[in-house]
Amino acid sequence: MSTAVSASSSTKASTSSADNSWMTGNRRNVELVLLIFAGLIGLYAYANVDLALRGSLPVNLLAVIAVVTVLFGSAHIAVRIWAPDADPLLLPAATLLNLLGLAMIHRLDVAASIAAARNDSPQPSADVAAQLTWAGVAIVLFIGIILVVQDHRRLQRYTYTCMVAGVVLLLLPLVPGLGTTVNGANLWVRLGPLSFQPSELAKILLTIFFAGYLVVHRNSLALVHKKFLGIGFPRGRDLGPILVAWLLSLAILVFQRDLGTALMFFGLFVTLLYVATQRRSWLVIGAALFAFGALLGYLAFGHVRIRFEVWLDTWSYANDQGYQIAQSLFGLANGGLLGTGWGQGYPQMVPFAKTDFITAALGEELGVTGFMAIIVLYGIIIERGLRTALACRDPFGKLLAVGFSTVLALQVFVVIGGVTRLIPLTGLTTPFLSYGGSALVANWMMIALLLRISDRARKPLPAGAEYVKGAGA
């Protein structure tokens, strides 16, 4: 009898193992097909730019094809080897966004080159080469994280280390002789010929800190001390963390003149606080503090007031402070439903088209249809990140996945909302699309960590193992 039961159990385990192996292989095949599809779309867009503007294929097309194939092919191989159960949609979606950004940066490079030749000016350097180099650095770090971080739960050991490192990075641009002011915002650190934006790396470190802190203190933060209008409020001493996050956001706004980063960090913490405690009161408190901070910023700081007034009445400022957003709206209107086509619009007329306004440039040449497709790609990444959080078995991983998804969601909302005049312009970069190495590297690092959490969440438990809620926290 026992022999029969043992044989039956062995057969079930063997069948389950075979099923899991088949599902894993199928996921990786889906990822490979989608990755090839993303590569073909991105490279077609890159080649189409030169065909439209110069009537010939790019002279460096074969080199670009080789670099793109090696980079993203290596990323796929790394995921297949070290994270075989990870979500199959995250890597292709991020790759397609990255390649569309490269194509638009190349398109603006070509426009600048043609304008320089027409005016007998020196040829400008091609920013797409620098961006492709940064993409290579980002993929190397992506593979490094997939290889080194075998279990995301180990990151919780460095909760307070991440807090200290994140705060130091945020303060670095304020150090005399080290920080650099760009377009009125003191966000950059320059070391010789290189410059980087410390807040991009700080958002990863502070997300790890927030997740680790809330896992430990979520019970005390969830306690209801008194009710007002049917909403439970915690004890006064438990308000400390959210007040610190609020004051830190205001400090960023005051000293670095960066409204977008302040909004992102504060929104991240309030979201994680709500997810950890399931208390709606934190959303009410967070909204009240945000409203008060926004009013205080409007009354106290001229640059905040100007951005708000430009948002309300863009056309009265269209020749000075509102010139960027006015040109952005003109470009989107020119694109219409289906767009002008690659190389057929005038995205070079929009200031900072490679950075803050790259979505406006893409919206003109791809139209509302292409613009919505890009938003859907972001939606896929965010949805898969939240799905990973739901599937994750440990609370730290859940909060970490929610945190990274929230960071991406807030950036996309703030940037696209500002470009389309849905909200006041704040000045964040568009993930994966905008020109800039710091943001690109940080975003690919977040995708790597999401894949690592996803792989852990989807990996079947060993035979006979039973998950205990809270294990690994």
* DSSP tag of 460: P
Angstrom distance (rounded) from CA 79 to CA 75: 6
Angstrom distance (rounded) from CA 212 to CA 340: 48
H helix or E strand, kind and range, residue 441: helix 437-458
Cβ contacts of 320-323, under 8 Å, gap ≥ 24: 323/351
Helices 395-419 and 358-391 sit at what angle, rounded to 10 degrees?
160
CA distances from 293 to 120, 223, 248, 290, 399 (A): 50, 26, 11, 5, 26
Residue by residue, pLDDT tens for the chain (473 residues) are 444 444 444 444 444 444 455 456 677 788 999 999 999 999 999 999 999 999 999 999 999 999 999 999 999 999 999 999 999 999 999 999 999 999 999 999 999 999 999 998 898 988 999 999 999 999 999 999 999 999 999 999 998 898 888 888 888 887 777 777 666 666 778 776 777 888 899 899 999 999 998 898 888 777 776 776 666 667 767 767 777 877 887 777 677 777 788 888 889 988 999 999 888 888 888 888 888 888 888 888 787 888 889 998 999 888 888 898 999 999 999 999 999 999 999 999 998 899 889 999 999 999 999 999 999 999 999 999 999 999 998 999 999 999 999 999 999 999 999 999 998 887 778 999 999 889 999 999 999 999 999 999 987 765 554 444 443 33
* Torsional sign, CA 39, 65, 142, 110: negative
pTM value? 0.90
Assigned token pair, 423:
């909200």
Q: Within 13 Å and on the Cβ side, how many CA atoms surround 370?
A: 24
CA distances from 183 to 193, 217, 331 (A): 19, 40, 22
